[in-house]
Amino acid sequence: MKKVVLATAILGTFAAASSQAITVYSDDDSSLEIGGRAEARFNISDANESDSNSSFNDLSRARINIAGETKVNEDVSVFGFYEAELNADSSNIDNRYLFAGFDTTYGAFSYGKQDSAQVILTNSTDILYTFGGDAADLTKGNADKVDNNFVYSNTFADAVIVTLNHAQEEEKGNYSSGASVAYDLPFGLQIGAGYVDGKQDDEKAKQYNVSAAYSLNDLYLGALVTRGEIDNVDLEGYELAASYSLNHFVVQYVYNYKDVDTNNKLQNVDEVNYHAIEGAYNVSDDFTAYAGYKFDRLKTDGHRNDDQIQVGLRYDF
């Protein structure tokens, strides 16, 4: 691995969503960047209706993030990242990410609220602006934005990315530990596998993941297969994704499926079964207009759940 470059890669992963991030300060040893987004969006579905609410639901939000890195010497650098989100219907600030760490010739170590080791795999199918990413996390330890999370990551031969993490919940007895390996082949294919083990809500929980992603010019394909178990109850999930770019226009599709053993019910675990298609137009490098439609295949009391339409305008800075 090249000296003191992994921290930059880690911070770059989060800055990717804010491709127009402003460099506030930069010299040979230190850098500080600020980025974010303003995203005006809404959802229309009969599922939003109640005695007091219509089918229209505003989902507008804004994010801001700060990323910093300082070189200590030729072998060590330190870094930190923070991202907050503010929703239009609330004055509360959601601290999405907050972590700091150091990068060495032996890998990067960090602690805070950050992604589990599995996110590098689940990102292969979580590609839409509107829907998706709902079948990957069978267990809490598989998710992104995990509290009290220790993470180690290293890249070998510029192709193999190894990530380990351990998250310790403040509630006594609950924790998760995970590991993943992703391999970038030279012809546009990435394959990966991961495992999570721990306890959630005082019950044993584990999950296995296998992913694949392939890029060829304007075409992208992704797949994720996952199996898990919570308190001896079996779970399974699948996600498929496809994307094709036509100049400034992108057509995207995902399929999400998550199933729980029919003989059991688990608290806080919802089944998922839907297709979603989306069109996005990149007006400029920092402004995107998009619209998506979700075809829900789940049934409640013998009736298929309501479909959804979601539309948005997103400005990245």
What integer pLDDT is reported at residue 183 of this predicted model? 98
Instruction: Tell me which of 3.40.50.150, 3.40.190.10, 2.40.160.10, 3.20.10.10 is the CATH number of domain 115-284.
Output: 2.40.160.10
Q: What's the pLDDT tens digit per position in 183-228?
A: 999 999 999 999 999 999 999 999 999 999 999 999 999 999 999 9
Threshold 0.85, pTM exceeds: yes
58-70 burial, b at 16+ Cβ within 10 Å, e below that, comes to ebebebbbbbbbb
Query: Would you kindly state where each structural domain of the chain is located, as residue ranges?
Result: 115-284
Dihedral sign from CA coordinates of 60, 90, 146, 10: positive
Spell 134-158 as b/e; 16+ CB within 10 A means b: bbbbbbbbbbbbbeebbbbbbbeee
Cα 223–chain centre separation: 15
Q: Is 218 exposed, middle or buried (0-12, 13-18, 19+ CB in 10 A)?
A: exposed
**Closest listed residue to residue 257, CA positions, set 129, 125, 146:** 125
Question: Rounded to an integer, what distance in angstroms lies between the CA atom of residue 151 and that of residue 178?
Answer: 10
Q: Computed over its alpha carbons, how large is the radius of gyration of the chain?
A: 20
Q: Which of 16-30, 62-76, 149-163 has the lowest mean pLDDT?
A: 16-30
CA neighbor of 200 nearest in space, from 117, 141, 144 = 141
Separation between Cα atoms, residue 310 and residue 42, nearest integer Å: 6
Q: What is the dihedral of CA 134, 140, 143, 149, to 10 degrees?
A: 170
Each residue's pLDDT tens digit, 226-240? 999 999 999 999 999
Distances (CA, A) of 235 to 29, 207, 211, 223, 259: 48, 9, 17, 18, 6
Give the tens place of pLDDT for each residue, 305-315.
999 999 999 99
Rounded-to-integer distance, Cα 185 and Cα 167, Å: 30
Q: What are the start-end ranges of the E strands in 45-188? A: 56-58, 61-71, 76-87, 93-104, 107-114, 146-156, 160-168, 175-184
Q: What is the pLDDT of residues 263-314, one digit of tens each?
A: 666 666 789 999 999 999 999 999 999 999 999 999 877 678 999 999 999 9
